[in-house]
Structure 1
Amino acid sequence: MTSKKTVRIGCASAFWGDTGGAAFQLVQGGDLDYLVFDYLAEMTLSIMAGAQLKNPEAGFAPDFIHTLKPLLESIQSKGIKVCSNAGGINARGCAEALASVVEQAGLDLVIALVEGDNLVAQQPAFQEARVVDMFSGQALPERLTSANAYLGAPSVSAALAAGADIVITGRVVDSALVLGPLVYEFGWSWDDYDRLAQGSLAGHVIECGTQTTGGNFTDWHLVKDGYANMGFPIVECSEDGSFVVSKPENTGGLVSCHTVAEQILYEIGDPEAYLLPDVTCNFRNVSLEQIAVDQVRVTGAKGQLPSDQYKVSATCLDGYRSNATFMLGGIDAADKGKVVAHAIIQRVRDIFSRKGLADFDEVNIEVLGAETTYGAQADCSHAREVVVKMAVSHQDKKALTVFGQEIAQAATAMAPGITGLVGGRPKPGPRLCLFSFL
């Protein structure tokens, strides 16, 4: 534990695939104590599980290694500590890959690995307990490809206390990457729930990167300039749990009470009972104060005892899926798009029948440019250019090969106007589905 009055933490990644330039921006201009990277969403683990099916050494976010490599010398010289859930479903592989890069650079950085979230081996116990999906009530699949509990901040804090410069985790709640350093730096007790709630809120505010600095903002027109150089978020946290949200100087974006408020409300369900493994948070009386340009002070979060359960995100292999996307133009393009898409499906179903194959498990058709997302409220009857997206699933990979072979023929065999097939002939891939339980 140090005696710092405030701790500055910047977030350089909101998801796997976020810009690699954020870390450079924050390391060089953020005056940071900590740099955190959040890579994991629920379906990210499905993607990583799919990658590991093809390559046992995969299953983590290689972007983390590539991004850190040119910055490691600056990180060491500036004394910045790094925390990330880049480990995905192969945290040990991620840590070993980074350790190799650190060694090659001749640097002295201690890497800590947090494991324990991988619960695949406990599947027989889950089956015996008759675990069901917490949203759909569906029974546990016979075989899981991954199962990861959302761990909390204690392991991150313990790793820092043990001398880690870089902490790599598997699945932890996003806020743990910020709460762990704060508990370590300030020596907070694990039953000081109000401070834990404030620290978790600080993590929640910056976990989605530029969503709190003007990106993805409802009043986007207020972000006058800077989308090309969006500033990534920084929280400067005090020992009492209060914190100020900002971004590096000379970067684009906007930090206002409105941008921060939108992020606070993002993906939390009941704001009076935001459930985390470390604390149950009550955000109803959070106060936001604009204390300077692009600086918002946040106070007022309260906390209570957490539940005695962890959320688990599991993935399972459920057949195969294939996607086809093609562009279609001309008068009545929207109507033509629907007719062509449904004709392709019917044509393939006829082939299935002749070959003795079962029907599709699922068919999804979207005509983009015709207000498909508005459903029954769509009002776009005169579109002259659309993109048709088709997604299908089947238990038999051969059946989806048939589907892929029947897409191109639509260019000459059906209504006129197909101007291009995106990505060429579609190929089937494994269909990984999410299964969540406590």
Structure 2
Amino acid sequence: MKKVRIGAGQGFLGDSPFPALDVVRHGSVKYLCCDALAELTLAILEKLRKRSTGTGWAPDLKLYMNLLLNECVQRGVKIITSAGGLNPVGAAAEIGEIAQSLGIKGLKIAVVGGDDISSSLDTLKAGGVTFENMESGVQFDSLKREDILFANVYLGAEPIIKALALGADVVVTGRCADTALFLAPMVHELGWKLDDWDKIAAGVVCGHLMECSAQSTGGNFSGDWWEVPAMHRPGYPVVEISEDGEAVLTKPEPCGGLVSRETVTEQLVYEIGDPRSYITPDVIADFTSVRLEDLGDNRVAIKGVKGRQRPDNLKVSIGYSNGFCGEMTIRYPWPHALRKAQKAEEIIRQQLKMLPISVEEIIAEYVGINSLLGPAAVEPAEELNEVGLRMAIRTRSKREAEMFPRLFPSLALNGPPGLGAGSFGAERARELISLWSALIPRELVTATVTVLEVN
């Protein structure tokens, strides 16, 4: 029975590339799949691009390729990455330049495009696509056209499969479903039909278990996390999947981490919504059908996955400018640290009313009390050594947002006692980019594949 081993190399922009090198060297994999795009990453890339400090693709792509490309070529490991972000063509060009600098010749780099529909929004809307917000039901007309910064469709595995069929050594995509990066080489190697829903669902489940790097192999584990060994060198997940859809998830042997039914289960239910209907461009997977079996020695079997026909619509993520944020964090020491921070908040709120600032939203949180737990936090019964106050406002104009941090320095002499020296954050305003999720009929989206060869 045919099998293929696939390794995870990245879980988000900013993840560590060094465990990916362990996967290549010790994982006996044929493919290394790097998921660089979280839901908000395109907004980050757009901000970097607008500041002229970014290029539209993941800024750590260069680090990854310099570290991994030569090793992968020598071992015959193909790389699939979504680090193309808003500019996969530019990302591919950078990979080509790195290949040349490393003396690699004949490398085939495939670019998957077609996810960017920003220039077609008006035409699509005129043709009947409503772009109604799929979460709130708000109509698309509530957005100003000039505020829209990008619009990208979540593509599935098909164009990546085509790229592999064309002999690509590296495949770089823009926005696509995270699971598609991992599903594509399974379909390519094992000969699955794209309407064999159970097998496609099995591939999606495996992809979901791998897309967050070490989160399925002991990272971010909420069980007995203190017992997870050698997390200074975490082992990213490796899946060996057979043509019948059954798989085993493990990690490179020399690495730390833990693969158990518990660690894998936590990742299985991570960010899935309805477990009976995990919707991807390629299939609707039933996560309640998944059977996990702990085989010991950091190996977990994945069996029994069921799936249903893929959806008629694809998700599109639209980024739009949503004003500016002004913020500041200050800190107060014992005694009465929390009471001091509360008084400081009261002063700032009263001063805001005296200024020509139109505040659309305001937040105040106490670091050490509720900045993570929010309304679920319980006020401490005992005095704390120190408490931080973080306040932020959202405004329409940058000028108004920049005025807000200027309220805080005077608290050093004109507020509660003991304001810590050096407590103040940067006095700056940052643009806020919000995401609008909508649906588009899949037949209106045309994915493209272009193969470049490094000479």
Bucket of the pairwise TM-score, normalised by the shorter protein: over 0.9
2:209 aligns with 205
2: CA distance, partners of 1:94 / 1:168: 7
Matched, 1:78 2:75: yes
CA contact (8 A) 1:193 1:305 kept: yes
Q: Displacement of 1:57 after TM fit?
A: 5.9
1:116 to 114, 117, 141: 114
Matched, 1:132 2:136: no
CA contact (8 A) 1:223 1:254 kept: no
2:270 aligns with 266
2: CA distance, partners of 1:255 / 1:56: 39
1:93 aligns with 90
2:189 aligns with 185
Q: Displacement of 1:420 after TM fit?
A: 4.4
Unaligned runs of 5+ in 2: 440-455
1:400 aligns with 401
Amino acid across the alignment from 1:345: R
Counterparts of 1:139-158 in structure 2, within 5 Å, are: 139-140=139-140, 141-143=143-145, 144-158=148-162
1:391 aligns with 392
2:413 aligns with 412
Q: Displacement of 1:333 after TM fit?
A: 1.3
Provide the aligned C-alpha RMSD in A: 1.8
CA contact (8 A) 1:348 1:402 kept: no
1: CA distance, partners of 2:59 / 2:109: 16
2:21 aligns with 24
TM-aligned CA distance change 1:27 to 1:423, over 3 Å: farther
TM-aligned CA distance change 1:182 to 1:52, over 3 Å: same
Q: Displacement of 1:421 after TM fit?
A: 4.6
TM-aligned CA distance change 1:225 to 1:275, over 3 Å: same
1:280 to 279, 284, 289: 284
1: CA distance, partners of 2:90 / 2:71: 24
Encode CA deviations 1:64-84: one digit per residue, 9 max, x unaligned.
221221332211110000001
TM-aligned CA distance change 1:222 to 1:430, over 3 Å: closer
2: CA distance, partners of 1:214 / 1:57: 33
Q: Which moved more, 1:188-197 or 1:418-427?
A: 418-427
**3-state SS of paired residue (2:178):** coil
**3-state SS of paired residue (1:433):** strand
Percent of aligned positions that are identical:
35
2: CA distance, partners of 1:149 / 1:166: 21
Matched, 1:173 2:174: no
Amino acid across the alignment from 1:380: P
2: CA distance, partners of 1:214 / 1:420: 39
CA contact (8 A) 2:229 2:258 kept: no
Unaligned runs of 5+ in 1: 353-357
2: CA distance, partners of 1:422 / 1:171: 39
Q: Displacement of 1:222 after TM fit?
A: 5.7
Q: Which moved more, 1:412-421 or 1:163-172?
A: 412-421
Q: Displacement of 1:338 after TM fit?
A: 2.2
Amino acid across the alignment from 1:299: K
2: CA distance, partners of 1:173 / 1:36: 13
Q: Displacement of 1:229 after TM fit?
A: 1.5
Structure 1 consecutive aligned stretches of length 4 or more whose deviation exceeds 6 Å: none
Q: Displacement of 1:377 after TM fit?
A: 5.0
Q: Displacement of 1:122 after TM fit?
A: 2.1
> How many aligned residue pairs are there?
430
CA contact (8 A) 1:361 1:392 kept: yes
TM-score (norm 1): 0.94
Amino acid across the alignment from 1:229: R
TM-aligned CA distance change 1:398 to 1:57, over 3 Å: closer
2:5 aligns with 8
Amino acid across the alignment from 1:133: N
1:69 to 58, 66, 71: 66
2: CA distance, partners of 1:22 / 1:237: 21
2: CA distance, partners of 1:186 / 1:96: 30
Encode CA deviations 1:234-269: one digit per residue, 9 max, x unaligned.
111111111111111121111000110111111111
Q: Displacement of 1:210 after TM fit?
A: 0.9
2: CA distance, partners of 1:93 / 1:220: 44
Encode CA deviations 1:137-175: one digit per residue, 9 max, x unaligned.
233212310111110001111100001000000011000
